[in-house]
Amino acid sequence: MIKPHGSDTLIPLYVEDESQRKQLEQEAESLPSILLNSAAASNAVMLGAGYFTPLTGFMNVADAMSVANTMHTSSGLFWPTPVLNLVHDTALIGSAQRIALRDPNVEGNPIIAIQDIEAIEELSSEQITTITEKVYRTKDANHPGAATFMSLGNKVISGHIQVLNYSYFRDEFAGTFRTAVEIRDEIGERGWNTVVGFQTRNPMHRAHEELCKMAQAATNADGVLIHMLLGKLKPGDIPAPVRDDAIRKMVEVYFPPNTVMVTGYGFDMLYAGPREGVLHAVFRQNCGCTDFIIGRDHAGVGDYYGAFDAQTIFDDEVPDDALDIAIFRADHTAYSKKLNKVVMMRDAPDHSKDDFVLLSGTKVREMLAAGEDLPKEFARPEVAKILMNYYQSIN
């Protein structure tokens, strides 16, 4: 199986030993505590689950700036985005060397992790601007990821963490949330050697289904890892439970047995386009995937990125030896009326837009809310029914 990024083995920071975890939970109650923002809480979950291997905690300012500018930490580790614990005020910490981190996403704000404080530093406004422009390629306050980052605060608390729980993900997504450790273990149990990963924050229509099948065939993969983002999205995105139901129904009906794993991970979407595409590749290498699909406008939002910027970054900015995972570069896929099948648009140069079955997201939502069936060439009826029930329930 492919090695994790920067390590021979995964480095999950979740404390597995129950007695040790109980002791740490007791210790945490006596420590000064801070309430994390959702971004830092999701970073803690990812560190705990091994997705951020080989990182062992939150970055300091030097590493964050180095990653923003060069996609490498100060020590030379390739990493595409800063992983920070940012706060507005550190007065409650005082001179403590160890603090409890509280979860903003669970009622009562339970302790999610303990952090050893390496340093408490301040990001200047110029440094915040630099990180925003390098990672998000914009500082436009209308960009949801850039706006969130610029609102998190300027105090940086760096240091190793010990993770005590996986926030709300274990309970709310018990059948779907998986750590990188668990995914690797299941890949081994299934006897898969080659695995192609597919990232999604949306339900999968027929074009997505066929894209996974195309990638599996092209890479000769034993299986496909459909890996859903379960964390915070932007307003208007379809809730994770609805996506989960729709995707599972599609896999159940339209994929052969033992060819797909449907899983999810607890991370807040950055909408950082190219940089987030690289981060997604790191996650999938750590999961055990040998190949990863990056399609048109991967991890993008609005018109902030070119259609294939998340692919060309691997040519222009990612060193050849930075990652072991291979990138499967996909074009927009759609049903061809001429060929009576789903194809990548680049593979049908003789087609015009009218030769494809294309529906905008707005049109899809309007049809579903009105109880209108989607074209079978666009969406499987079983999937469309689940989405229709959701849209009609909110109108």
Topology (CATH level 3) of domain 18-167: Sulfate adenylyltransferase (3.10.400)
Closest C-alpha to 83, from 54, 111, 106, 110: 54
Tokens of 248: 């599972």
pTM of the prediction? Answer: 0.95
Residue 241: which pLDDT band, with cuts at 50, 70 and 90? confident
**For residue 113, what pLDDT is reported?**
98
Mean pLDDT score, 220-240 = 87
Catalytically active residues are 201-202
Task: Determine the pLDDT at residue 390.
Answer: 92
**Tens-digit pLDDT profile for residues 63-76:** 999 999 999 999 99
Residue intervals in the chain for CATH 3.40.50.620 = 186-265+271-393
Mean pLDDT, rounded, for 199-217: 94
- Overall fold of domain 186-265+271-393: Rossmann fold (3.40.50)
Rg (CA), the chain: 21
Residues 351-391: tens digit of each pLDDT: 999 999 999 888 998 899 899 999 999 999 999 999 999 99
Q: pLDDT digits over 315-361, tens only? A: 999 999 999 999 999 999 999 999 999 999 999 999 999 999 999 88
User: What secondary structure, in 3-state letters, does 301-356 show?
Assistant: CCCCCCCCHHHHHHHHCCCCCCCCCEEEECCCEEEECCCCEEEEHHHCCCCCHHHE
- Quote the DSSP letter at residue 296: T
From the number of C-beta atoms within 10 Å of its C-beta (0-12, 13-18, 19+), residue 201 rates as middle
Mean pLDDT, residues 154-164 = 98
List, in sequence order, the alpha helices (H) in the chain. 18-29, 38-49, 61-70, 125-136, 144-150, 169-172, 180-190, 206-219, 240-254, 273-287, 309-316, 361-369, 381-393
In sequence order, the 6+-apart residues with CB closer than 8 A to the CB of 181 are 10, 12, 49, 50
The Cα 207–Cα 57 span in angstroms is 38
pLDDT at residue number 236: 74
With tokens 């990125």, the residue in question is 305
Instruction: Write down the pLDDT at residue 3.
Output: 97
Integer Cα distance of 87 and 152 in angstroms: 6
Please write the tens of the pLDDT for every residue from 2-42.
Answer: 999 999 999 999 999 999 999 999 999 999 999 999 999 99
Give the pLDDT confidence score for residue 64 in this predicted structure. Answer: 98
DSSP 8-state class, residue 14: B
In a 13 Å sphere around the CA of 322, the CA atoms on its Cβ side amount to 22
Task: Please give the pLDDT value at position 246.
Answer: 94
Got the DSSP string for 62-115? HHHHHHHHHSB-TT--B-SS----EES--GGGTT-SEEEEE-TTSTT--EEEEE
- Reported as a pLDDT band with limits 50, 70 and 90, residue 239 is confident
List 100's β-bridge partners, or say none: 33, 114
CB neighbour list of residue 170: distance below 8 Å, 6 or more residues apart: 177
The pLDDT value given to residue 292: 98
Backbone angles phi, psi at 292, to 5 degrees: -140, 130
Condensed to tens digits (0 to 9), the pLDDT of residues 72-89 reads 999 999 999 999 999 999
CA 264 to chain centre: 9
Question: What pLDDT, in 10s, does the model give residues 299-315?
Answer: 999 999 999 999 999 99
